[in-house]
Amino acid sequence: MPHALSLALLALATLGTFALGVQLFFVLRHRWTSTRLQAPVSGGEPVGISILKPLCGVDDDLEANLARFATLGYPEYEVVLGVKDMRDPAYAVAREAVARWPHVMRLELQHGEPGLNPKVNQLITLAAAARHDILVISDSNTRVGPDYLEEIARTFEDPTVGVISHPVSGIGEQTLGSLMDNLYQCTSAGAGQIAAKQAADQDIVVGKSMAMRREDVEALGGFYSVRNVLAEDYVIGRWMTGRLGKRAVVARAPVYNVSREKSVLAFFKRYVRWSIIHHTCIPTPVYLAQSLLNPLPWALLGALLSPSALSFGGVGAVAVAKLLHDVTVFNALRPGQTASWLTVPAVLLKDVLLFAAWTNGLFARSVDWRGNKLRVLAGSRLVPPAPAVSGGLSATHPKPAGELLAG
């Protein structure tokens, strides 16, 4: 029995390694075509674009990230910065940015707290304050290329497009935790977006950078409709294609997640939370199948069940293939940067920690996010933790909790 299970696990790891090869092919093809295709030139007036940028705390290089968005060179755009209140450390940074670039930057304080998702609470305020009809959601820890807004504007010249999302890359690492974070952004998030779209026409919309028309957002009920959803980007993407019948587009150019000084523990906690969110958005069989894209832990478990030179040789082959995949994608999605030798041990440690986070995601349904402990239901819907009831009675769900699930 152990021998048969060992063979099964090694076979699954081999299948996962093949899938990574397919993913690598599509990533390289995407990057090759992106650098060679000439963008069509529009003869019309430039469409106005509002970049909505919720802030929470001072991210790595926040000042430099904001500076990049203040100098994009697009003729008609604004950056609307948001903070929950003036106690947020990001408030002072945002005020300095507005003072430095008043022609581009504006600052809005959040109005009320309509839902359980802190980011969406800010987006509700920012969208109401935005002046233009193209709304771009952009995380505070991102940087973009000089043609970022031009590509968005050109894409929305097609009326069938409902949302454009950018492949995620990662730059700036100075610690092991940030190196693993940026590796994940490139080799799992960004590569997954590209390959899913090109290989299976599956849309993975990521809120690190996504753009939509205001009229489409309003047709879906506005950001208020996802106030109690943790994976609001995924849900909006599904609604855009399913309810409105519009297309989701993966941009040619990536956006760059800036991670510099994250600890290994912070990296692990982030992806423990992310695995829970991910599992609540997709069926369990799909969640199980996606673990094959991290084949090394499965191969190692197979070899440990039935140790032999052949089985450990298989582990070595899977490890080499995974390293080649990650290093190649890492370089492909970070033009002008080359992975260092530290990338090799970082890939191996990353995969072990991600496997542990994935395992936790099979069972856990509570997350700690921005100081709030929340339960996550199917579709990543959020509810407060059930209150403890004295006297040994079971907790009941008060009526407001039902209202929180509405919309």
Q: Name residue, tokens 């990536």.
A: 254
What are the structure tokens assigned to 319, written together? 């490890």
Confidence category of residue 371, pLDDT binned at 50, 70, 90: low
Cα→Cα distances 92→82, 99, 349, Å = 12, 11, 37
Q: What is the rounded distance in angstroms from the CA atom of residue 305 to the CA atom of residue 12?
A: 14
Res 111 pLDDT > 60: yes
Q: Identify the band that residue 403 occupies on the pLDDT scale cut at 50, 70 and 90.
A: very low
pLDDT tens digit string along 155-168?
999 999 999 999 99
How would residue 374 be classed by pLDDT, with cut points 50, 70 and 90?
Answer: confident
Cβ proximity of 195 and 23 under 8 Å: yes
For 64-94, write each residue's pLDDT tens digit. 999 999 999 899 999 999 999 999 999 999 9
Angstrom distances, CA of residue 45 to CA of 74, 76, 157, 169, 217: 12, 10, 11, 31, 23
d(CA 333, CA 342): 18
Compute the mean pLDDT over every residue in the chain, rounded to the nearest whole number: 89
255 φ, ψ to 5°?
Answer: -105, 155
- CB contact burial 175-192 (16+ within 10 A = b; e otherwise): bbbbbbbbbbbbbbbbbb
What confidence tens digit (pLDDT) does each residue in 262-305 have?
999 999 999 999 999 999 999 999 999 999 999 999 999 999 99
Q: What is the pLDDT of residue 41?
A: 47
What pLDDT is stored for residue 273 in this prediction? 92
User: Which residue type sits at 383?
Assistant: V
Task: Quote the CA–CA distance of 386 and 176 in Å, as a whole number.
Answer: 37
User: What's the pLDDT score for residue 367?
Assistant: 84
Looking at residue 389, its pLDDT comes to: 42
Identify residue 54 by its one-letter amino acid code.
P
Q: Residue 393 has what pLDDT?
A: 34
Half-sphere exposure at residue 154, Cβ-oriented, CA atoms within 13 angstroms: 14
Q: Please state the domain extents for the chain.
A: 47-265
pLDDT band at 336 (very low <50, low <70, confident <90, very high): confident
Residue 309's SS3 state is: helix
Q: What is the rounded average pLDDT of the residues 83-110? A: 96
The answer, yes or no, to whether residue 133 has pLDDT greater than 50, is: yes
Using CB atoms within 10 A of its CB, is residue 323 exposed (0-12), middle (13-18) or buried (19+)?
middle
Q: Which residues pair with 102 in a beta bridge?
A: none
Q: Is the pTM of this model over 0.85?
A: yes
pLDDT at 59 (0 to 100): 86
Q: In whole angstroms, what is the distance from residue 228 CA to residue 9 CA?
A: 38
* Alpha carbon distance, N-terminus to C-terminus of the chain: 50
pLDDT in tens, 338-349: 888 889 999 999
pLDDT > 70: percent of the chain: 91
User: CA-CA distance, 79 to 52, in Å (whole number)?
Assistant: 6
**Mean pLDDT lowest among 226-230, 245-249, 295-299, 394-398:** 394-398
Q: What are the tokens at 180? A: 């693993």
DSSP string, 112-133: ---SS-HHHHHHHHHHHH--SS
Question: Which H or E run contains 138?
Answer: strand 134-138
- Which pLDDT tens digit goes with each residue over 181-193? 999 999 999 999 9
| Parallel, antiparallel or unpaired: strands 161-165 and 105-109 | unpaired
Q: What is the rounded distance in angstroms from the CA atom of residue 383 to the CA atom of residue 397?
A: 10
Range 3-23 average pLDDT:
95
Band (pLDDT 50/70/90 cuts) for residue 370 is low
For the domain made up of 47-265, give the CATH fold.
Spore Coat Polysaccharide Biosynthesis Protein SpsA; Chain A (3.90.550)
Nearest to 121 by CA among 170, 88, 77, 163: 88
Which pair of tokens denotes residue 230? Answer: 């943790």
**HSE-up of residue 37 (Cα within 13 Å, Cβ side):** 13
User: Phi-psi category of 379—alpha, beta or left, where left has phi over 0 and alpha has psi -120 to 50?
Assistant: left
